[in-house]
């Protein structure tokens, strides 16, 4: 089997026996190509970050950025602010921060805006979310109070547990799109932003399965929006379409179908903009994507993996609705299947049982508990168990992901990358992929990290020299 070097839009083959009929004898070889430096535009001017949703995740993200740029907090957990990667090899090897490799937007250049179904400003929402202590919010109170959410494009049928009054009165889905486009244009002009990124930090919508009569082409999608097809067009799709139409990359931080359809891929190709998704990889799935490779690498067998969560914030409330939970369930169940593959190791991974549950439990608020029971077997089939209990803070883990996804999506846009950004899979629970062509998503955390590093190297004009095998 050929090994692959993964780049965005490029796959270079190595360790192969045939190369377009030019290799006559069977032999191994490694093909390295020095990538020409890409023309990455500088991060000049202000970067507008429009958050869909101004709840626990968004306010924790925004408050943290404002505190960090005042020197009152540290951006712990953010790869773009802390991580170093190797560039060059041998005598030329060095380890650099991302901003030393590629031109990254500065935190001081970010301007925040939002939409939400509730009218509370960012300060009020941060206090109400009860994620951060008041003493860690008050130093930036004045800035937070100025972030007043615009009316949300909302359909109660997609999130029945929410009932806010700060909602647009739109006759059709197409009207939603037009009003959202106007919001983006107005925000950009009023805040003198040179670029915009739109980030979905709102609740999980009910599951919208792929329908090829609506979601297959951009033409069909637009036709459905104008016909007000509320069954197949979720409000989140209106946000994504509006963002791309206004020149803004779009990031889907929930497991919603939204941009995971060919019609949106076509829109991203048409507008030459990046899209990323789906679902922030914060607690349990982060553990799963990092721990499952241990089982696979050690060639241990898996009999079953049971995951359960208790969560009490607004996201937990929405997920208490079965139709919304199903969207999350599909996302969380997809992780193991591409890491522990039955076809690759039938003795070890055939017919293992994988179950995921989420339970709304108000006393925990944002302090989520993810508990995993893993039944494995070893030598001669003897059973063993692994228990993992992750007492995490959902928004504290999500906030740095929001920052990294925003900065890296903006970078990708300035580098001329568009369509699905596979190199951002590291940050996402259910990585986007072209399922219409049988593509298998990369869920293995350390392989995802290789993809991230190679993309940064490539954009910085260095050789993308690590392989996924």
Number of H helices, E strands in the chain: 16, 15
Give pLDDT, residue 331: 59
Q: What is the pLDDT of residues 383-398, one digit of tens each?
A: 999 999 999 999 999 9
**Domain topology for 284-391:** Dihydrodipicolinate Reductase; domain 2 (3.30.360)
Look up residue 451 and give its two tokens: 């993809």
Give pLDDT, residue 276: 98
Q: What is the pLDDT of residues 127-144, one digit of tens each?
A: 999 999 999 999 999 999
**pLDDT over threshold 80, residue 402:** yes
DSSP3 helix / strand / coil % (the chain, rounded to 5): 40, 20, 40
Give pLDDT, residue 343: 92
Alpha-carbon distance of 141 to 62, in angstroms, equals 11
**Domain topology for 46-281+395-459:** Rossmann fold (3.40.50)
Alpha-carbon distance of 158 to 187, in angstroms, equals 26
| Chain centroid to CA 440 | 17
Give pLDDT, residue 70: 97
**pLDDT over threshold 50, residue 11:** no
Domain ranges of the chain: 46-281+395-459, 284-391
| Beta strands in 93-156, from DSSP E residues, in sequence order | 94-97, 110-116, 150-151
Alpha-carbon distance of 241 to 229, in angstroms, equals 15
Q: What is the DSSP letter of 407?
A: H
Of 93, 233, 104, the residue nearest 172 (C-alpha): 233
Task: State the pTM of this model.
Answer: 0.87
């Amino acid at each position: 089997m050929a090994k692959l070097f993964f780049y965005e839009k490029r796959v270079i083959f190595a360790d192969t026996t045939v190369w377009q009929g030019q290799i006559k004898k069977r032999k191994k070889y490694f093909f390295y190509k020095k990538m020409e430096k890409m023309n990455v535009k500088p991060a000049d001017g202000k970067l507008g970050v429009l958050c869909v949703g101004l709840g626990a995740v968004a306010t924790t993200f925004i408050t943290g950025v404002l505190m960090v740029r005042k020197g009152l907090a540290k951006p712990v957990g953010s790869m773009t602010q802390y991580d170093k990667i190797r560039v060059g090899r041998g005598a030329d090897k060095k380890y650099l921060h991302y901003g030393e490799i590629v031109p990254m937007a500065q935190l001081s250049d970010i301007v925040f805006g939002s939409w939400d179904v509730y009218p509370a400003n960012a300060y009020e929402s941060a206090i109400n979310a009860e994620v951060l202590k008041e003493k860690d919010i008050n130093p930036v109170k004045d800035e937070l109070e100025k972030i007043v959410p615009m009316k949300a494009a909302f359909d109660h049928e997609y999130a029945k547990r929410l009932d806010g009054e700060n909602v647009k009165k739109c006759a059709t889905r197409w009207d939603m799109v037009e009003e959202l486009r106007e919001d983006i244009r107005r925000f950009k002009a009023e805040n003198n932003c040179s670029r915009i990124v739109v980030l979905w930090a709102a609740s999980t919508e009910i599951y919208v399965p792929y329908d090829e009569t609506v979601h297959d082409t951009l033409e069909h999608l637009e036709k459905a929006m104008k016909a007000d097809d509320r069954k197949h067009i979720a409000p989140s799709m209106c946000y994504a379409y509006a963002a791309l139409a206004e020149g803004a990359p779009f990031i889907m931080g929930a497991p919603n179908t939204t941009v995971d359809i060919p019609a949106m891929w076509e829109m991203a190709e048409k507008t030459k903009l990046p899209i990323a998704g789906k679902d922030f990889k914060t607690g349990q799935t982060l553990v799963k994507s990092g721990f499952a490779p241990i089982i696979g690498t050690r060639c241990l067998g898996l009999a079953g993996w049971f995951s359960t969560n208790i969560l009490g914030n607004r996201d937990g409330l929405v997920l208490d609705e079965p139709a919304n939970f199903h969207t999350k369930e599909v996302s969380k169940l997809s992780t193991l299947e591409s890491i522990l593959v039955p076809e690759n190791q039938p003795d070890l991974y055939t017919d293992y049982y994988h179950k995921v549950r989420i339970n709304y439990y108000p006393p925990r608020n944002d302090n989520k508990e993810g508990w995993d029971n893993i039944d494995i077997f070893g030598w001669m089939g003897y059973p063993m168990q692994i228990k993992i209990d992750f007492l995490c803070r959902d928004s504290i883990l999500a906030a740095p992901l929001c920052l990294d996804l925003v900065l890296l999506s903006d970078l990708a846009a300035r580098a001329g990358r568009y369509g699905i950004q596979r190199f951002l899979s590291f940050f996402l629970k259910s990585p986007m992929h072209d399922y219409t062509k049988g593509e298998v998503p990369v869920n293995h955390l350390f392989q995802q990290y290789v993809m991230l590093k190679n993309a940064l190297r490539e954009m910085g004009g260095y050789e993308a020299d690590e392989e996924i095998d």
